[in-house]
Amino acid sequence: MDPTDDKQVIEITIRDMNRCWTETWDEARFREYIHPGAVAIVPTTPGCLEGRDAYVAGWRGFAQAATIHAWNEQDLRIRLHATGTSAVVTYLFTISFTMAGHPVTMKGRDMFFLVKEAGRWLVVADQFSPEPFPS
């Protein structure tokens, strides 16, 4: 497969996965994008979320506690590695939501590591962080 084709499939994969939790909580579909051995590092949880069940539970908790009003990804970049069997994806995001009656708008950065298994791209690692405040 041409690397450009893989990059297009990866972009579609990431955008579709994000729609599963930003537009409506579709746990069954969301779970399909996550590798069984996935890990995630998020600013609200000490350590890391380990395994697909913990990863999915983390996003479920947020999706059920928040009403998401807007989600936007910008500057999406995809880098293929290991002869096209793995990839690093980065982007900046802006999300607006209401949680516990309080409106929140947050800007941040997301970095995913994906592997290609059985012809599908799966998220193996995710680290998201809020955009740092300017000094």
Tokens of 27: 């746990």
Specify whether the CB–CB gap between 18 and 112 falls below 8 A: no
What is the reported pLDDT for 43?
Answer: 77
Domain boundaries defined on the chain:
3-130
H/E element, 68? strand 66-81
Architecture of domain 3-130: Roll (3.10)
State the average pLDDT for the chain.
93
Nearest to 112 by CA among 133, 134, 85, 91: 91
Beta strand 102-117 with 120-130 is antiparallel
Give percent above pLDDT 70 in the chain.
96
Is the pLDDT score of 90 beyond 70?
A: yes
**Is the entire prediction scored with pTM above 0.85?**
yes
Residues with Cβ within 8 Å of 134's Cβ and at least 6 positions away in sequence, in order, are none
Is the pLDDT score of 3 beyond 90?
A: no
Specify whether the CB–CB gap between 5 and 54 falls below 8 A: no
The partner residues of 73 in beta bridges, in order of sequence, read 93
